[in-house]
A = this chain, B = another copy of it.
Amino acid sequence: MDVRKQILTQATRLFAGQGYDGTSVQQIADAVGIRKPSLLYHFKSKDELRENVIAEMLGHWNAVLPGLLLKASTEERFDATMEALTEFFIEDPDRARLFLRETLDRPQSMKAMLAKFVQPWVNLLGEQLERAKGRGLVRADVDPEAYAVEVITMAVAGTAVIDTLEVILPGTPARGSTRKRHARELIRVARSSLYTDNEGEK
């Protein structure tokens, strides 16, 4: 029964690209190559399908990020933490778009998810940044949690819209290199606004 996975894949792609309200169950069924009632046999309602799409994304999140974040933060390589976070979204822009749309469309349910899956990590990171501040490693004027929120926003939203915003950038060289240019500058901004001094990383 991996028609379920096909449905989830197509639903993710369409919800990310056109939004939940802008996507009909019919369109998803067409993309999979089945009839609408067949889709509704696997997922009782459009809303249940949406919940499963979100759950799948949070699954990736929970499988991949904790290891990266924990490792990076215990070593006090905060920039590596930010790079890992950025890569998680850049790897699959649909993830970023879905996340952003869900935040706009269902702020209340997103609040609950953020409280459960993101806040603990931001708090942990915040404490460690606070300590690093005391030791002069991190700038004194940094607001740790607010800083984390800004970087997360920049990573998610930047990745979600960079293909559209690239029209602003003049020298557009090879295909897809705009994403790299975005990623590089994002990391640079995140890093240089955090540390008291450059550590000489390329």
Q: Which residues of A contact B (CB under 8 A)?
A: 18-22, 97, 100-101, 103-105, 107, 110-111, 114-115, 118-119, 122-123, 126, 139, 141-143, 145-150, 152-154, 156-158, 160-165, 167-170, 181-182, 184-186, 188-190, 192-193
Contact = CB atoms under 8 A, between A and B. Distances in A.
A181 B146 contact: yes
Contact of A168 (B22, B107, B149, B167): B149
B193 A22 contact: no
A147 B189 contact: yes
B103 A143 contact: no
Could you say how many copies of this chain the assembly holds? 2
A119 B18 CA distance: 25
Contacts of A147: 185, 189
A143 B184 CA distance: 9
Contact of A123 (B104, B150, B170): B170
Nearest to A161: B103
13 contacts: A20-B22, A97-B104, A107-B163, A122-B168, A143-B181, A143-B184, A150-B154, A150-B182, A150-B185, A154-B154, A156-B157, A189-B190, A189-B193
